[in-house]
């Protein structure tokens, strides 16, 4: 920092200049004056970071105000006013501090002020007055605290007396209620039993409800006693349903002596109930004497039964997905090994062909097809939730808008796209590719249902807070905040029998060649992997709507982007283990082309023996996971026991049994999914060796 003014000028006016550092300390600018050295001895040694609050007690409060002054980049000056400090010898000195902002620099000026005797005495007297005032306030606070304690004690004693009085009153009330209850039971035993029944009971004579207990009144949301004497049909708002139920009861009584029926009835307030009614005559030979009708609300039981059926369907769906997962996992390893060989040898061949030739173009087509096959395997593993995904905080609004722009170009003009994105952050933990995939699959299906007559696709996005009752039909979700993405169309709709299987893998209603049946299954797999849920409802002739719920996040963690490292060459020694001979040979040839010395082996047992005999001969180990005799994970653990510092890369085409977290806990440095891209492998090898 350049000097603001000549240093001797600050010395002449007994002032020091300090600049605030980013860590909150101060650096002295210019020479340390004698009086400053007395208060801050380390300044004489050229110390660059000075803690002023340690030596000037008054400055601690002023520096808080100065910090606000500097942060707001205020112009002008901020002064502390005069204060007195005592040095190590007991000599009193008066100071005044000034905060100044000079662009990005935060400057503190401390000036030694010379006082007259009268000024000094005035400050001392003021300090004494403040001390006396502080003492007086302290005494008042102590008195208030004592008064508060006394008041609490008085309240406690009076509360105890009141509680005792209440207890005596409660006992008197209990005794009186017992006496009243005994009187009622002695005079109306039968009526009390009927009234206490949790089942609705009524006596019907002719068309009149002569008597109804409280349970029946409560069930129909009528006041207690208000039903007695009323026309039975008038007690039920839906007269047609009551007449049908009454007819069934009378018919049953005439046939078997007891009439039973399940009926949907409405209460006074319009609430729909599912009830079980049973009628028994007082006299089977003379129905005019009356019929006792019991009414039981089985609404919750019916809902529970529906929920059980729904859970059974969901269990069946989960079992189908589990079976699909076992199938996918079974083929993933072998298929990825095949792809590893195709991609690897194609990449090697590309390094030896002349650019811009037909052979190079043909090899490029092979690589493109292989990459599509790799993505297909990844899609199947995503469907069965066995593929590890890297998620990051995403704001869905811009991604949805971008996907709809791409979609618009591929749809006919007869189909209109409407979007409604509500205000809010709509933050989720996901990745943009999968969100695109969800939206494109749902919108493509919607467009397919409207391709003949055209229509409207409505895409809406908003934040919702699901309560416990909201997630009853979505057992995969827990109550809490979610981002809701909805896709609605005005197509021909979907039959209920189709909806039950709509997410099944390979199930499709499209003509051959128009679809694989994987689209919606993949959508469901992606959403479940992210902890979400997708629902569908449809009405024939009116359209279909899909609702996607993804867990919302409120505090996204920013990930630092890592620069892509170019593949490097080297001369280190590598042990490459894979039970597939073609892949072992491929790894050896590829790495040797980069200058490495490679020992390729197809037996994990032989690889362990070779490493055990000469652990110092290898600088890095690359091993497959799924191998006979010993898996790659077990091999890695044994190698690390022999030599804990050996870098190990574990490769697999099927990640259900091992994950990055699991491998890192065992000491494995890197975990790669097959099929391997040789450039990526070379880059990882170089990074670990470096």
Q: Which helix (H) or strand (E) holds 121?
A: helix 117-187
CB 672 within 8 A of CB 653: no
pLDDT for the residue numbered 559 = 45
Q: Give whole-number Cα distances, 503 to 297, 474, 518, 521, 688, in Å.
A: 36, 15, 8, 5, 43
Q: Is residue 163 part of a domain?
A: no
| CATH classification of the domain holding 667 | 3.40.50.2300
Q: In this structure, are 539 and 500 located in the same domain?
A: yes
Q: In this structure, are 361 and 405 located in the same domain?
A: no
Q: In this structure, are 396 and 541 located in the same domain?
A: yes
Q: Give whole-number Cα distances, 234 to 77, 173, 221, 288, in Å.
A: 86, 40, 14, 19
CB 608 within 8 A of CB 615: no
pLDDT for the residue numbered 312 = 79
Domain boundary (60, 80, 114) is at 114
Q: In this structure, are 364 and 314 located in the same domain?
A: yes
| CATH classification of the domain holding 328 | 1.10.287.130
Taking the C-alpha atoms of residue 177 and residue 209, their distance in angstroms, rounded to an integer, is 31
Q: In this structure, are 423 and 546 located in the same domain?
A: yes
Taking the C-alpha atoms of residue 197 and residue 212, their distance in angstroms, rounded to an integer, is 11
CA atoms within 13 A on the CB side of 686: 16
| CATH classification of the domain holding 102 | 3.30.450.20
Taking the C-alpha atoms of residue 560 and residue 230, their distance in angstroms, rounded to an integer, is 76
Q: Looking up tokens 């892949």, which residue turns up? A: 583
Q: In this structure, are 465 and 505 located in the same domain?
A: yes
Taking the C-alpha atoms of residue 245 and residue 228, their distance in angstroms, rounded to an integer, is 20
Q: Is residue 89 part of a domain?
A: yes
Structure-block tokens of residue 268: 């006074």
**557: number of Cβ within 10 Å:** 8
Taking the C-alpha atoms of residue 665 and residue 662, their distance in angstroms, rounded to an integer, is 5
Structure-block tokens of residue 432: 């943009």
Q: In this structure, are 372 and 408 located in the same domain?
A: no
Q: Is residue 185 part of a domain?
A: no
Domain boundary (67, 97, 114) is at 114
pLDDT for the residue numbered 506 = 61
Q: Which helix (H) or strand (E) holds 185?
A: helix 117-187
Domain total for the chain?
Answer: 5
Q: Is residue 178 part of a domain?
A: no
CA atoms within 13 A on the CB side of 93: 21
Q: In this structure, are 265 and 209 located in the same domain?
A: yes
* pLDDT tens per residue across span 429-459: 888 778 888 898 899 888 888 888 889 999 9
Q: Is residue 455 part of a domain?
A: yes
Q: Is residue 560 part of a domain?
A: no
Which residues is 223 bridged to in the sheet? none
Return the percent helix, strand and coil in the chain, to nearest 5: 50, 25, 30
Q: In this structure, are 464 and 491 located in the same domain?
A: yes
Taking the C-alpha atoms of residue 524 and residue 517, their distance in angstroms, rounded to an integer, is 12
Q: Is residue 208 part of a domain?
A: yes
Q: Is residue 543 part of a domain?
A: yes
CB 110 within 8 A of CB 126: no
Q: Which domain holds residue 608?
A: 573-689
| CATH classification of the domain holding 404 | 3.30.565.10
Q: In this structure, are 397 and 513 located in the same domain?
A: yes
Tell me which residues of the chain have a pLDDT lower than 50. Answer: 1-3, 513, 557-564
* Residue 145 DSSP SS3: helix
Q: In this structure, are 17 and 43 located in the same domain?
A: yes
pLDDT for the residue numbered 588 = 92
Domain boundary (297, 330, 355) is at 297
CB 18 within 8 A of CB 107: yes
* pLDDT tens per residue across span 359-372: 888 888 888 878 76
Beta carbons within 8 Å of 22's beta carbon, 6+ residues apart = none
Q: In this structure, are 225 and 342 located in the same domain?
A: no
Three-state SS for 480-522 is EEEEEEEEEECCCCCCHHHHCCCCCCCCCCCCCCCCCCCHHHH
């Amino acid at each position: 920092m350049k000097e603001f003014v000549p240093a001797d000028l600050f010395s002449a006016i007994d002032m020091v200049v300090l600049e605030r550092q980013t860590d909150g300390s101060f650096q002295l600018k210019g020479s340390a004056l004698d009086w400053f050295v007395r208060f801050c001895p380390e300044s004489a040694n050229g110390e660059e970071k000075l803690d002023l609050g340690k030596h000037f007690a008054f400055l601690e409060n002023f520096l808080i105000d100065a910090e606000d002054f500097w942060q707001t980049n205020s112009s002008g000056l901020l002064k502390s006013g005069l204060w007195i400090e005592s040095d190590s010898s007991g000599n009193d000195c008066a100071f005044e501090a000034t905060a100044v902002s000079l662009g990005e620099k935060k400057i503190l000026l401390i000036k030694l002020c010379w006082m007259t005797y009268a000024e000094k005495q005035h400050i001392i007297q003021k300090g004494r007055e403040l001390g006396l005032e502080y003492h007086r306030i302290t005494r008042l606070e102590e008195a208030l605290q004592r008064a508060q304690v006394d008041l609490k004690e008085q309240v406690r004693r009076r509360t105890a007396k009141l509680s005792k009085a209440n207890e005596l009153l409660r006992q008197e009330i209990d005794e009186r209620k017992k006496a009243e209850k005994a009187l009622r039971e002695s005079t109306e035993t039968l009526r009390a039993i009927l009234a206490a029944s949790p089942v609705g009971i009524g006596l019907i004579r002719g068309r009149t409800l002569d008597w109804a207990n409280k349970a029946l009144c409560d069930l129909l949301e009528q006041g207690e006693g208000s039903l007695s004497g009323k026309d039975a049909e008038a007690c039920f708002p839906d007269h047609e349903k009551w007449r049908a139920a009454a007819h069934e009861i009378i018919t049953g009584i005439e046939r078997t002596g007891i009439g039973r029926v399940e009926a949907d009835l409405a209460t006074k307030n319009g609430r729909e109930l599912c009830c079980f009614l049973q009628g028994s005559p007082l006299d089977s030979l003379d129905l005019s004497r009356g019929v006792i009708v019991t009414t039981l609300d089985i609404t919750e039981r019916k809902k529970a039964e529906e929920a059980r059926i729904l859970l059974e369907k969901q269990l069946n769906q989960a079992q189908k997905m589990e079976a699909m997962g076992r199938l996918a996992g079974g083929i993933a390893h072998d298929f990825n090994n095949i792809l590893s060989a195709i991609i690897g040898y194609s990449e090697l061949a590309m390094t030896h062909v002349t650019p811009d030739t037909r052979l190079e173009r043909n090899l490029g087509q092979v690589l493109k097809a292989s990459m599509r096959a790799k993505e297909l395997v990844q899609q199947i593993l995503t469907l069965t939730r066995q593929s590890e995904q890297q998620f990051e905080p995403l704001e869905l609004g811009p991604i949805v808008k971008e996907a709809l722009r791409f979609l618009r170009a591929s749809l006919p003009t007869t189909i209109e796209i409407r979007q409604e994105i509500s205000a809010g952050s709509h933050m989720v933990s996901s990745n943009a590719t999968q969100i695109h995939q969800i939206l494109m699959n749902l919108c493509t299906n919607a467009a397919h249902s409207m391709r003949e007559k055209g229509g409207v696709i409505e895409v809406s996005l908003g934040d919702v807070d699901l309560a416990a009752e909201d997630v009853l039909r979505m057992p995969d979700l827990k109550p809490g905040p979610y981002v809701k993405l909805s896709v609605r169309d005005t197509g021909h709709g979907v039959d209920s029998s189709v909806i039950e299987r709509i997410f099944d893998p390979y199930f499709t209603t499209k003509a051959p060649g128009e679809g694989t049946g994987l689209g919606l299954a993949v959508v469901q797999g992606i959403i479940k992997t992210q902890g979400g849920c997708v629902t569908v409802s449809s009405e024939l002739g009116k359209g279909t709507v899909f609702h996607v719920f993804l867990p919302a996040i409120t505090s996204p963690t920013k990930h630092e982007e890592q620069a892509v490292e170019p593949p490097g060459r080297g001369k280190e020694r590598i042990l490459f283990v894979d039970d597939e001979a073609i892949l072992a040979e491929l790894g050896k040839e590829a790495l040797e082309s980069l200058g490495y010395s490679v020992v390729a082996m197809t037996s994990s047992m032989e690889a362990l023996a070779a490493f055990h005999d000469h652990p110092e001969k290898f600088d890095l180990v690359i091993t497959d996971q799924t191998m006979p005799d010993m898996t790659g994970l077990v091999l890695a653990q044994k190698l690390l026991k022999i030599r804990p510092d050996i870098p190990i890369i574990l490769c697999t085409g099927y990640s259900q049994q091992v994950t990055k977290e699991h491998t890192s806990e065992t000491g494995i440095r890197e975990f790669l999914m097959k099929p391997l891209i040789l450039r990526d492998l070379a880059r990882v090898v170089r990074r670990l060796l470096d």
